[in-house]
Structure 1
Amino acid sequence: MKIRPLLFSLFLLAFLFNGLALTSINAQTQDFLYGDALPDAPELSKKGEYAVGVQTVNLINTNQVDILKSKDGKDPSYDRPITIEIWYPASVDNNAKTVIYNEVMGTAGDTLRPITPFTFKGRAYRDAEALKGSKFPLVVVSHGYVGSRYLMTYLTENLASKGYIVAAIDHTDSTFKDANAFQSTLLNRPNDIRFVINEMEKLGAKGSKNKIAGLVDANNTAIIGYSMGGYGVLNVGGAGYSQGLAQFFTGMTGGSTAITINIAGNAEYEKKADSRIKAIVAFAPWGMERGVWDAEGLKGLKTPTFFIAGSQDDISGYEKGIKAIYEGAVNADRYLLTYKNARHNVAPNPPPVEALAPSLHIDEYYRYAEPSWDQRKLNNVNQHFVTAFIGKHLKNQDNAKFLDIQENSNDKDWTGFKPRSSTGMELLHAKPAN
């Protein structure tokens, strides 16, 4: 009989076919880059029509308060260095190679979590020629403490591919490589963001020597911040800090009053209102539970704002933290997207492969990862809603169907999401009181 040889041949063919299929899947997995769309990614998370260029620019903000050297109420000044990464729509030839980002884990000066270099692939092209012909809205991104300008490349590359010029900041004294005393972050975070908006307008002005000359529409600007970046963008957007923060800051710096420039009610602060900013995205903004804002300060936030939070955030807090900011910002048109059971890390890239090493401190993994969510899923959902929100305010896109949806994602599939894929989320929307 020849049945057994035939069955064996069929089994061998099936084995070989499955082996080839697994090899193909593994190859695809290895080629999966931060921000790529999962099979269940919502509609607006997909990449845009443009190739993306990326460049590094080193800036100097002159004559700034050197808060780390303040003493007896006296504030010396210094020239503050700031590095930014700029992503932009680009013109790319067929021989161009995509970027390799150089990043680190760990924290400067921490013996338990020493600086550990690693690299990861991006979709952008280093120093490619910018695409000429039209202006693009500006997006400025501010990382957490500690962090870096590369912490959210899944989002920065994605937005640039959709026709935005995106600048992400390395906040001096607040990055993995140079983390320093916290008073520098408290004082400089909003100041850095304002400075970078102004510098991007200069770099993008006609006649500038930069690649993006003539391409930046700074009058249509969005600012995006994560954690301490959220603390910064809300202040830049109009939410003045409290007198309680001013008193705390004075105590921790030996008498410096430098932070009063960003306190609600200060005439100098009120003059800084920036009409160029049309939208704010605040991921897990820090500070409400620590008295950074009060009711009067939050009333100053009038720019449309999209908050993103985890319901179990144990760094910024949720009910008395991020949700309290959302509820107190009564003069802003605002949204609050909540990932149920997520903690604080609702904004970063997925953990790098190097963070999985058992020899590293587990917090290197939890610098990025969420215990109850796939980080790539979070990234895709963030891309979707940030695209909808800033597209509405910076490009006048009609994205109401993606934003004006029922609160509970478990009740019905949200518009733009594939069937059965929009579980475990809540989206609240409140209009300005006046």
Structure 2
Amino acid sequence: MTKRRLFVVFLSTVLFISTLSISFGQSSTKPFVYGDPLPDAPELAARGSYSVGVQTMDLIHENQLDILNYGKGGDSLYNRPLKIEVWYPAEVATGSDVLISYEDVMGQNGSPNRPIIPITFLGRANRDAKPFVSEGAFPLVIVSHGYTGSRYLMTYLTENLASKGYVVVAIDHTEATFRDAGGFSSTLLNRSLDDLFVLNEIARRGQQDGSFLKGLVNTDNTALIGYSMGGYGAINVVGAGYSPQAAQLFGTMSNGSKALEKRSVGNAEYQASIDPRIKVVVAFAPWGMQRGVWNAEGLAGIKVPSLFIAGSKDDISGYEDGTKAIYEGAVNSDRHLLTYIDARHNTAPNPPPAESLAPGIHLDEYLRYADSVWDMRRINNINQHFVTAFLGIHLKGKEDYKTYLEVNQADEKKPWPGFKPRTSIGLMLDHKSAN
């Protein structure tokens, strides 16, 4: 090959890579970060006006049932550790959010084929920044990951909401993270209990002298967001009591424990636990309907406004007999269902980490995050848009945001409110009012 042709090939390659970088929102001075808006992002995907702070906290939920050792003798209680990440409006010059490196892992605790592998990825936040309290307290958003997952699974959304004036708390659910995955019975029992404990603990610390949360968070105005098993727990917290069939299944898995009955429909203790501070719920691909976890009476217990988000080809939680069936059954909730046509289960996570693309890495590390039809960055932007609209309406009283949930699905040529022309294809948004 001649030197001239080599130069042409080299130049073409450089231009191709540069074009890819630009299309991905990357440049030499501003790399693309999870959650950054793509050129076709809908309007409300853009970050808000607040700079974002972030802090890590370690909590202890004392004297909890040690369900993984139930019936094996000895003490059946343990002090359950919960690590949380808190994103919040920070007292930093507007637009000065810095690149931050989040450290997580991929893999599966105890799996020889999928060993734990450290990963890092970038966000835009200020570690341990001074909270912004000049405008009063902000609504609380609690975020619950899937099985398995981590508190960093949805940073594209947690950072975005904090920039819009929310205190966002994401939980590492013990015995359900990549690092410490344990028996499934722990997830079945503890999801809703973890959510309620974190709500109470954030409320307590919001009144505590010396806590960075004092004066920052309004727990009387709370949203709960859950993905997969996080969605399973979230809709239980807001009123969907588990069915007798679910309690029986749990007993089979846990040496005969009846602990789940306390979170089941008709149980007085469960009914008393439904917390009026939680005003709305967002459930991404909630697991359980296919397994008979809820019946009609249980789903009728959801009375707060609800936003359900799912892929029409979800092969983990199901769609017609899964998320859509939950949406249809929540008859006492004013509710929306956002559907990604032909997407599978992963409608909530960050995009796949760079490490998942390396040679020799188990395919499941990539598939934990990716969808085979949709670009995850695109899904992330659409989620930011609709969750912003939904929470804005119900937690901040933004009546003008209702327009974004009023779409005309009959006219494919007319873009949805907030969407650029020709970019609302592949989506459905349904709405039902409460009975």
Is the aligned partner of 1:88 residue 2:88? yes
Q: Distance in 2 between matches of 1:253 and 1:20?
A: 53
Match of 2:337 in 1: 336
Match of 2:239 in 1: 238
Q: Distance in 1 between matches of 2:21 and 2:333?
A: 49
Is the aligned partner of 1:422 residue 2:420? no
Match of 1:221 in 2: 222
Contact conserved, 2:97 with 2:125, CA < 8 A, in 1?
no
Is the aligned partner of 1:38 residue 2:38? yes
**Partner of 1:129: helix, strand, or coil?**
coil
- Counting matched residue pairs gives 420
Match of 1:57 in 2: 57
**Partner of 2:257: helix, strand, or coil?**
coil
Q: Distance in 2 between matches of 1:59 and 1:191?
A: 14
Matches for 1:79-158 after TM superposition, within 5 Å: 79-92=79-92, 97-133=98-134, 134-158=136-160
Aligned-residue RMSD, C-alpha? 2.2
Match of 2:201 in 1: 199
Is the aligned partner of 1:161 residue 2:166? no
Which moves more between the two structures, 281-290 or 73-82? 73-82
- Paired residue type of 1:159: L
Q: Which runs of 5+ in 1 are unaligned?
A: 1-10
Q: Distance in 1 between matches of 2:13 and 2:356?
A: 34
- Select the structure of larger CA radius of gyration: 1
- Paired residue type of 1:92: V
Q: Which runs of 5+ in 2 are unaligned?
A: 1-7
Match of 1:273 in 2: 274
Offset at 1:107? Answer: 0.5
Contact conserved, 1:67 with 1:75, CA < 8 A, in 2?
no
Q: Distance in 2 between matches of 1:20 and 1:71?
A: 59
Which moves more between the two structures, 283-292 or 63-72? 63-72
Q: Distance in 1 between matches of 2:65 and 2:336?
A: 35
**Partner of 1:86: helix, strand, or coil?**
strand
Against the structure 1 CA distance between its residues 353 and 211, is the aligned structure 2 distance closer, same or farther, given a 3 Å change threshold? same
Match of 2:364 in 1: 363
Calculate the TM-score normalised by the size of structure 2: 0.92
Per-residue CA deviation, residues 124-172 of structure 1 (Å, 9 max, x unaligned), is: 1111111122110000000000000000000000000000000000000
Against the structure 1 CA distance between its residues 214 and 248, is the aligned structure 2 distance closer, same or farther, given a 3 Å change threshold? same
Offset at 1:215? Answer: 1.2
Q: Distance in 2 between matches of 1:64 and 1:20?
A: 53
Runs of 4+ in 1 over 3 A off after TM superposition: 14-26, 72-75, 93-98, 407-411
Match of 2:289 in 1: 288
Offset at 1:28? Answer: 5.4
Offset at 1:276? Answer: 0.6
Match of 1:413 in 2: 415
Match of 1:212 in 2: 213
Contact conserved, 2:43 with 2:385, CA < 8 A, in 1?
yes
Contact conserved, 1:208 with 1:214, CA < 8 A, in 2?
no
Calculate the TM-score normalised by the size of structure 1: 0.93
Against the structure 1 CA distance between its residues 411 and 99, is the aligned structure 2 distance closer, same or farther, given a 3 Å change threshold? same
- Paired residue type of 1:219: D
Against the structure 1 CA distance between its residues 73 and 282, is the aligned structure 2 distance closer, same or farther, given a 3 Å change threshold? farther
